A and B are shown apart, each in its own frame.
Chain A
Amino acid sequence: MTLDKTEATGLSVAIAAHIILFALLSFQLSHPDPHFDNPPMAVEIIAEAAPVATAPEISDAPPAARLGDPDSDEAEVPPPRPIVEPPKPPKPVMREAVRAPRPSPGAPPQRRVVPTPERTPARQTSAQQRSATRPVRDPRPSGALDGIAAGVARDARPNARSVAPPAAQSAAAIRADIRVSINAEVRGPWNGCRVTGVDVDQLKTTIVFRLTEVGGLERIASVNTSGVNDSNRPQVQRFEECARRAIQLAAPFANLPQENYSYWQTYTLDFEKR
């Protein structure tokens, strides 16, 4: 069977097209760095002290703005021209593991028992204090080495896998953060309330309590103790009192994500001493 002219031409065109296609594909596949418009991310708890590893916003700002210090008032003042949109408040690139300052031992304890009516101002105060403690530097990208060093240090996060900009938190991560936050607050007053006696280490008091939206203690719903025997029975009442007291002294709980209020509105703590 011989090819006629038309078929020969068609076959030639097909072969040529294959060669071109093969060359193109070889070039594409050998490209070392395929581009991802929106790469995946990984969220990891950086430290136990981090109350909320909130997903940061992907910043549109150039790297210099992230590496440098917070914009100064001078930089925030726009040039005298009509403002189409109100300038957005600068969002933190990564929320730092900073807790609201604990009250000093001399502070009246009643303040802690009563739920804080407003939570947002406290956060602002905390942020302002944080800003106020920073050293004053030239806000503009001046190429100063100290600014660069600070920026590099800030980017060198311990979580090496979080090379991509973090996005949203998983449900498990939020649960873990709330646990860290509430546990750390309660453990101090729980440890400070002494209960001693034979077999006290076998007691476990379970308290179910409800929180207000701003993290204050709404009420203690139930208190139950297990592990009671003849030797530790005298300590049960004090054991329960100490557990209840620890929650009262620890409240209001700061840094609980309000968007997940339905999750932590009712909380259960098991108290034990080992």
Chain B
Amino acid sequence: MTNRTPIAFVIAAVLSVLTTPLAAQIAPVPAPTAAQPVTPTPPPRETVTGDLAQERTSVIITTFATPAVTATPAGTTAVLGRQIAEVIAADLERSGLYAPRGPDGLRAISMGEVTAPAFAGWRGTGAESLVHGFVRADTAGNLTVGCYLYDMALGSELTRNGFVVQPRDWRRAAHRCADAIYSRLSGEAPFFDSRIAYIAETGPKDARIKRLAIMDSDGANHRFITNGQSIALTPRFSPDYSRIVYVSYAGQRVRVYVYDVGSGSQRIIYESSNTTFAPRWSPDGRFILFSMAAAGNTDIYRIPAAGGTPRRLTDGPGIEVGGSYSPDGTRIVFESDRSGAQQIYVMNADGSDQQRISFGGGRYATPEWSPRGDLIAFTRISGNFRIGVMTPSGGSERLLTDSWQDEAPTWAPNGRIIQFFRTTQGRDGRSQIFQVDLTGVNLRRLPTPVDGSDPSWGPVLP
């Protein structure tokens, strides 16, 4: 038997080896488990990516209601209700961010709807936002203008504002209302209720008449300040809007004038036979910067706003011009050709710590610090004259326009829009005021009665 055992064992082993795979193959596969709750690891998180290139936000603006049609020096409250809505719509459209609809073509609303809009009816328009408002005249002769902004999809009120104005200031009430809507929807500071000073130009290029003029931000309420007997240049509003500083050329004399907007009077704060130009206010209104060529060297000077002895801030061998204060008043940006070509520099308000911040090809001129402080606008001269922006450290340079000659940027009071003037080529070329959104879109001309240059956008009216 000792000999048989191995044979039987071999047979058993062979059988075992041969049959095991078969058994494994025909054995049932474990059934997949049924749906089980998911263990919450990792916690659910995802990214929702939207598109920056979108259409303008659609806003419905109806004629403002009035509780009782009342006659005022500026017209009846019913007429004013329509005109105010029209100004608001025009403001929002001009901002480039919104596509207003109305008040033309839209039904009038009742006073009750001002605070309880009939959303169901307006949603059919597909608009995202709804503006209602009212105009009421009181016994004292004042107008009360109320405006309300609603989110159409949520059916919720976003903001409401009320303004009491003299009837003649009804446009300001409309601008303030547009500002409230714009600020609420864009996040930006208001800017519609502001004014612009500029140089109105008439006549041929070799015998140009240049007059100082001011107007509202939408071009309304235009008026000339000077009569054109002397050449006016580079106006700037004081931070409190009470004064305008500008340079006047009469014969061989150059004068820096401060014009008092309230009284209509003006006085000389500096007079010289030296070429003097580009005055700028300090943010607190106490000082004025200007540039002057003296003894073959052009430098930046600071003078008290009431007049006095100028103090020189730069003393390099090059031409230093065009100082512009940072909003906090601690720094000044200017241009200098000390490197061989005009470039942009910044320095402390006392003239110390001068540092170059622009290093691109071509030349840089007319730097202007944004009222928001984050950017500096300039004219880039490289073939054409173009408007651009960069950070105060010289980074993130972007050019916003591309034309034959765009120059002299000035900021909207909220630092979102840049105004400049554009000159076309040739003897018959014109100078006109344009503006462009900081993102490089919405380039448009500001309508003026005559040609314009050297725009200066003042702060929001107090």
Contact = CB atoms under 8 A, between A and B. Distances in A.
A113 B154 CA distance: 8
Nearest to B28: A37
A12 interface: no
A111 B116 CA distance: 18
B31 interface: yes
Nearest to B54: A194
A47 to B, nearest CB: 18
A110 B26 CA distance: 60
B155 A110 contact: yes
A231 B389 CA distance: 12
Interface stretch (B239-247, B305-313, B331-339, B370-378): B370-378
Interface size class of A (residues with CB under 8 A): 35 or more
25 contacts: A7-B3, A34-B25, A34-B26, A38-B29, A106-B124, A113-B154, A168-B35, A175-B38, A191-B51, A194-B54, A196-B52, A196-B186, A197-B188, A230-B372, A234-B187, A234-B189, A239-B187, A243-B48, A246-B48, A259-B35, A262-B37, A263-B37, A269-B45, A270-B45, A273-B52
B47 A272 contact: yes
B187 A236 contact: yes
Contacts, number: 174
Given A34-B25, A198-B438, A234-B188, A267 B155 contact: no
B155 A108 contact: yes
B50 A271 contact: yes
A108 B372 CA distance: 40
Nearest to B52: A273
Contact of B374 (A14, A40, A231): A231
A41 B32 contact: yes
Given A40-B32, A238-B186, A249-B154, A171 B39 contact: yes
B65 to A, nearest CB: 23
Interface in A162-189: 167-169, 171, 174-175, 178-179, 182-183, 186-187, 189
A274 B48 CA distance: 10
Interface string B24-59: 011011011111111110011111111110101100
Interface of A: 7, 10-11, 14, 17-18, 21, 25, 28-29, 34-41, 54-55, 105-106, 108-110, 113, 167-169, 171, 174-175, 178-179, 182-183, 186-187, 189-198, 200-201, 229-231, 234-239, 243, 245-246, 248-249, 259-260, 262-264, 266-274
Nearest to B125: A105
Nearest to A25: B18
A192 B184 CA distance: 16
Contacts of B187: 195, 197, 234-239
Contacts of A109: 153-155
B356 interface: no
Contacts of B15: 21
Given A168-B32, A267-B44, 14 more contacts: A11-B7, A18-B14, A29-B22, A37-B28, A187-B48, A198-B374, A198-B375, A229-B374, A260-B38, A267-B45, A269-B48, A270-B45, A273-B49, A274-B51
A104 B194 CA distance: 41
Contacts of A106: 120, 123-124
Contacts of A17: 11
A108 B416 CA distance: 35
8 smallest A-B Cβ distances: which pairs?
A230-B374, A238-B187, A268-B45, A171-B38, A167-B32, A273-B50, A270-B47, A235-B187
Nearest to B33: A168
Contacts of A55: 35
Nearest to B29: A38
B46 to A, nearest CB: 5
A112 B372 CA distance: 39
Contacts of A236: 187
